[in-house]
Amino acid sequence: MTTARRSPTVRRRRLGRELRELREAAELTIEQVGEALGCSDSKISRIETGQVSATPRDVGRMLELYGVSDEQRRRLLEKTLEAQQKDWWQAYSDTLVVPLVGLEAEAASIRTYEPLLVPGLFQIEDYARAVIRALRPDLDPDRMERWVELRMARQTHFKKDPPQVNAVVDEAVLRRPVGGRNAMGQQLHHLLDVCALPTVRLQVLPYEAGEHAGMTGGFTIFSFHESVIPDTVYLERTKDDLYVESLQEVQPYSQAFDSLRAAALSTDASIEFLALLAKEV
């Protein structure tokens, strides 16, 4: 399934998957459940895929229909309430990137390839501001600062319980003076600090690598602690971001990332490259 702009939160996906498994165990179709609950089958489908938030009333009626035990009912109703809770990033819903932040917060590992920009989680404030100003000239100064504020907040929360991050960045990313030479120099030094983190593995894809598997654009793959939650690919677009979740669509990105890592400099060589470039700038 490819979904534009919005992606289900991990907690909603987790709940929806359990509800689907219980329905299938009860040998009921989505249409039968919708008819019994007096709602459309599309609503049941959206609940099971995590596209919409289920109410305790809806979940309670489903569980009654599926004949679950009292313990299962209690546990799943608790999960329903958890899925409805707002996290810190919901306060930034006006920025349109809330689904992305939700995935970052729940991920066990992140694999990202960036051909044009420093990954958002590694950007310094001046770099981030220059990027947002260039990409969103329609934003007034207050709204632009709101976007910058969220990007910095993402990094703060990321450091509290960091996932494993494997990043491949194109050499062009490091040579483009975004925000001016001074800001770019600070950004390069910050990347050197990032490379020292035990949960980060950063590699540079040099020009000399020639043609490569990422020539169609950047992407990020999120993997989660529970194996029942499928990997999700995030594709940033100017207008509508995309979230790819089906195994058939995710697998080519995973293969492409493995190919990019093989073509990139080693982590040690990448650090040396960054250090030399930082001195030049």
Nearest-angstrom CA–CA distance, 45 and 31: 9
How would residue 268 be classed by pLDDT, with cut points 50, 70 and 90? very high
Considering the domain architecture, whether residues 256 and 150 belong to the same structural domain is answered as yes
Considering the domain architecture, whether residues 145 and 71 belong to the same structural domain is answered as no
Considering the domain architecture, whether residues 128 and 225 belong to the same structural domain is answered as yes
Number of domains in the chain: 2
CATH number at residue 101: 3.30.870
CATH number at residue 46: 1.10.260.40
In a domain, 1, yes or no: no
How would residue 252 be classed by pLDDT, with cut points 50, 70 and 90? very high
Q: How does pLDDT run across 66-97, given as a tens digit for each residue?
A: 999 999 999 999 888 877 776 666 666 667 66
Nearest-angstrom CA–CA distance, 201 and 212: 20
Name 113's bridge partners.
Answer: 168, 219
Question: Which tokens belong to 44?
Answer: 């049941």
Name 166's bridge partners.
Answer: 111, 201
Q: Which has the higher per-residue pLDDT, 274 or 10?
A: 274
Nearest-angstrom CA–CA distance, 209 and 214: 12
Nearest-angstrom CA–CA distance, 209 and 162: 30
Considering the domain architecture, whether residues 128 and 258 belong to the same structural domain is answered as yes
Q: Which one of 66, 84, 102 terminates a domain?
A: 84
Nearest-angstrom CA–CA distance, 241 and 260: 22
Considering the domain architecture, whether residues 162 and 266 belong to the same structural domain is answered as yes
pLDDT value of residue 98: 65
Q: How does pLDDT run across 165-191, given as a tens digit for each residue?
A: 999 999 999 999 999 999 999 999 999
Mean pLDDT of the chain: 89
Radius of gyration of the chain (CA): 21
Count CB-CB contacts under 10 A for residue 233. 22
In a domain, 2, yes or no: no
In a domain, 3, yes or no: no
Q: Do residues 176 and 272 lie in contact, with contact meaning Cβ atoms separated by under 8 Å?
A: no
In a domain, 59, yes or no: yes
Domain that holds residue 241: 88-280
Considering the domain architecture, whether residues 74 and 97 belong to the same structural domain is answered as no
Considering the domain architecture, whether residues 38 and 92 belong to the same structural domain is answered as no
Q: Which has the higher per-residue pLDDT, 226 or 150?
A: 150
Q: Which one of 46, 62, 84 terminates a domain?
A: 84
Give the percent of the chain with pLDDT over 90. 68
pLDDT value of residue 7: 45
Considering the domain architecture, whether residues 36 and 146 belong to the same structural domain is answered as no
Considering the domain architecture, whether residues 64 and 95 belong to the same structural domain is answered as no
Considering the domain architecture, whether residues 154 and 191 belong to the same structural domain is answered as yes
Q: Which one of 84, 104, 122 terminates a domain?
A: 84
Strand, helix or coil for residue 168: strand
Considering the domain architecture, whether residues 130 and 246 belong to the same structural domain is answered as yes
Q: Which has the higher per-residue pLDDT, 161 or 273?
A: 273
Phi–psi pair at 67, nearest 5 degrees: 70, 45
- Segment 206-230 mean pLDDT: 91
Q: Do residues 49 and 7 lie in contact, with contact meaning Cβ atoms separated by under 8 Å?
A: no
Q: Which has the higher per-residue pLDDT, 214 or 281?
A: 214
Give the pTM.
Answer: 0.76
- Interacting residues of 89 by C-beta distance below 8 A, sequence separation 6+: 98, 101, 102, 105, 150, 153, 154
Strand duo 107-114 + 242-244: pairing: unpaired
In a domain, 218, yes or no: yes
Considering the domain architecture, whether residues 80 and 98 belong to the same structural domain is answered as no
